[in-house]
Structure 1
Amino acid sequence: MINHVSIGVRDVARSKIFYDAALKPLGYRLLSDGETSLGYGDGSVVLWVQKAERPVPSDMASGLHFCFDAPSRKSVADFHKAAMGAGGKDNGEAGLRADYGDDYYAAFVVDPDGYRLEAYCGAAK
């Protein structure tokens, strides 16, 4: 249904460090690298990260977050660890979320600009 999402950031270079690290364990890579924009995906760009004059203000109560498919539970944990090491903030360590489903395994982080991100794997153990 959705072809891609674009987010505005204050510092593209800082975001590149974060997203390169956080998305690598999920199998996503940098496909477009420019001074003012970055494009990530696994064949085509699904996430654009762009320099913006007025990025959306961080609002933990907004309900807005972006969830990325993960190929395994290990990659979910690796996403969380990589994001923390690249300037992200913890918003929920890797683990089962039984209230979402029996095999709902996810981790949650906040990027340097305040965007909430999730990595999710629904495969059984």
Structure 2
Amino acid sequence: MLDHVSIGVRDTNVSKPFYDAALKPLGYSCLSQSPGSLGYGAQTVALWVNDAARPVSSDEKSGLHFCFAAPTRQSVVAFHAAALRAGGSDNGAPGLRADYGEDYYAAFIVDPDGYRLEAYFNAAA
């Protein structure tokens, strides 16, 4: 249904090292870069990270989060660890989430701008 998502951040120079590190274990990289704009994906850009005058403020009760498909459980663990090392905040350690499904394995992070991110792998899928 979606082609891509764009998010606004305070400074892409700060965001780039975080997203480079966090998304690499999932098989995603920066495919496009210009001043104030970063495009991430596997073969085509699916996530744009852009400088914005008024980024969306962090609100854990908003329900807004972005979930990235992971190729393995180990890549979920690596996403979480890399994101923490790159300045993210823990929002849920890697593990099974039985409430979401028997094989739902995920980890949750908050990026430096307050966006909530998830990496997810489903062995049954």
Q: Same fold (TM over 0.5)?
A: yes
How far apart in 1 are the matches of 2:28 and 2:34? 17
Give per-residue Cα distances to partners, 1:42-70, cap 9 Å, x unaligned. 00000000000000000011000000000
How far apart in 1 are the matches of 2:16 and 2:48? 11
2:3 counterpart residue number: 3
- Which residues of 2 match residues 62-101 of structure 1 at below 5 A? 62-101=62-101
How far apart in 2 are the matches of 1:93 and 1:34? 33
RMSD of aligned Cα (Å): 0.6
SS at match of 1:32: strand
- Work out the number of aligned pairs and report it: 124
2:44 counterpart residue number: 44
What are the ranges of 5 or more consecutive residues in structure 2 without an aligned counterpart? none
1:116 counterpart residue number: 116
How far apart in 2 are the matches of 1:99 and 1:58? 25
How far apart in 1 are the matches of 2:61 and 2:25? 28
> Shift of the alpha carbon at 1:118?
0.2
> Shift of the alpha carbon at 1:123?
1.0
**Quick one: which amino acid aligns to residue 95 of structure 1?**
G
How far apart in 2 are the matches of 1:96 and 1:117? 16
What are the ranges of 5 or more consecutive residues in structure 1 without an aligned counterpart? none
> Shift of the alpha carbon at 1:87?
0.4
**Quick one: which amino acid aligns to residue 82 of structure 1?**
A
